Structure 1
Amino acid sequence: MSFQGQSLALTSDGLAAAASTLNVQVPEIWAVLSVETKGTGFLPDRRPQILFERHYFSRLTNHQYDATHPGISNPIQGGYGAIGANQYLRLQEAYGLNQDAALQSASWGMGQIMGANHKAAGFDDAASMVTAMTNSEDAHLAAMVSFLIANRLDRFLAAHDWASFARGYNGPNYAINHYDDKLNTCYQKFQTGTFPDLNVRAAQIYLQFKGFNPNGIDGVAGPGTASAVKAFQTSIGVTPTGIIDDALLAALKPADA
């Protein structure tokens, strides 16, 4: 499994649908996404953001591989190693042992939904969920929305009861990492009405896919983004303006989208 699909960036329609379904406003959505994956659902190589959980794999395989593959099968949570592409090395090791258990043992996309929670996220199996996750951040967000509703966490999000939301979404040890405080801090930031510009953000994501570094995925058209845009425009023989418009986005969009 390549774990690469269309890799489309979040759209205004996807964001609006999530807010409407959850009966919340945009700041609440961005607060959760920012805490979970710093606001982006894909790695530079177009694969979804994941975190492999060895204790899930251990449990789902009845501890069969604890002795022989302790790095990816262990009843004790932890041992993550580096984030990013390294998590796929861990996933691939597990995938070679038990495909379904491996997919269930990783958290996926912008909302970091565990594959084991595929039914709550709206899918018949983990593989179907993963396929959707490879295609778009809109699918990431839709899965998160389904999970929140299935677990009745939408009420806590709407009420800004960050502790209760964190307990249900991040687990009983949420306070160790100040998960609830981080949610509140992000919410207060976005409540001012300043959100990531989705066109700029999409351009940043697609620039990264093509090997041009925008210096972060934040939806802000800063100097790093302008420099990356100019470099890309030069590479395709277009006058380097540094401006993000429909023509640029069309040129940047993944060819298989």
Structure 2
Amino acid sequence: MAITSIQFDNAAKRLGVEIAAIKSVARVESVQGGFDSAGKLTILFEPHIFWKNLLKVGIDPKPLKLKYPDLLNPVWDKTLYGPSKNQWNKLILARTIDKQAANLSASYGAFQIMGFNYSQCGFADVEAFINYLNISESNQLDAFCSYLFSVHLVDELKHLDWSGFARGYNGPFYWQNKYDIKLKQFYDFYKANPDK
């Protein structure tokens, strides 16, 4: 179910930010929203994160790279993402190698929060986090608010510090995808069109 205007308003009050700022993050992170056209939770599987998580659990990713070239990689490579329709297939395949490592290696929902950030969203484990997000976009908004408080990004969003927010939310290479510029553009759009 889509986030209602009342839920956006409540989240904005909880964070002390503008509704347009929250909407801009959701739009940049996930154009299609928290669920895809088939009703499945929107995800993006990150091959370079999966590589790191496999190492953490003692699995050598190098031989797996030969068998699954687009499923894992030692460094970030945008070309390995593939189409959005394939993301769940990648996650399901990754789970056959190591379920925990796989679940930690995807981002979820309208705000595309990484699985490894489950504790910052208030969850005891990543499966509980995924299950909560899978219920509704409202739950995804709630997790987003909790996450911003945990990682101290509320002030950046409140003060419309797009580059500061982008750096904290997407990492130091945010500028490669013009993340800050897109945030500002969509903020301006939603500010001018509050009913959208």
TM normalised by structure 1 equals: 0.70
Aligned-pair CA distance for 1:39: 5.6
Give the superposed CA RMSD.
Answer: 1.3
**Counterpart in the other structure of 2:69:** 70
* C-alpha distance in structure 1 between counterparts of 2:62 and 2:113, whole Å: 24
| Other structure's SS at 1:51 match | strand
**Counterpart in the other structure of 1:123:** 123
* C-alpha distance in structure 2 between counterparts of 1:91 and 1:186, whole Å: 30
1:1-257 paired onto structure 2 within 5 Å: 8-38=1-31, 40-62=33-55, 64-68=60-64, 69-78=68-77, 79-83=80-84, 85-196=85-196
* C-alpha distance in structure 2 between counterparts of 1:147 and 1:25, whole Å: 17
| Matched length | 188
Cα deviations across residues 47-96 of structure 1 (Å, max 9, x unaligned)?
Answer: 1111000111111111523322332121111210111x200111011011
* C-alpha distance in structure 1 between counterparts of 2:195 and 2:22, whole Å: 11
* C-alpha distance in structure 1 between counterparts of 2:144 and 2:134, whole Å: 15
| Other structure's SS at 2:152 match | coil
Letter in 2 for 1:179: Y
Structure 1 unaligned regions, length at least 5: 1-7, 197-257
* C-alpha distance in structure 2 between counterparts of 1:157 and 1:115, whole Å: 22
CA radius of gyration, larger in: 1
* C-alpha distance in structure 1 between counterparts of 2:167 and 2:32, whole Å: 21
Identity of aligned residues (%): 36
| Other structure's SS at 1:61 match | helix
| Other structure's SS at 2:134 match | helix
More helix by share: 2
TM normalised by structure 2 equals: 0.91
CA contact (8 A) 1:36 1:110 kept: yes
* C-alpha distance in structure 2 between counterparts of 1:182 and 1:35, whole Å: 7
Structure 1's 15 and 194: CA in aligned 2 closer, same or farther, altered over 3 A?
Answer: closer
Aligned-pair CA distance for 1:107: 0.2
Letter in 1 for 2:142: A
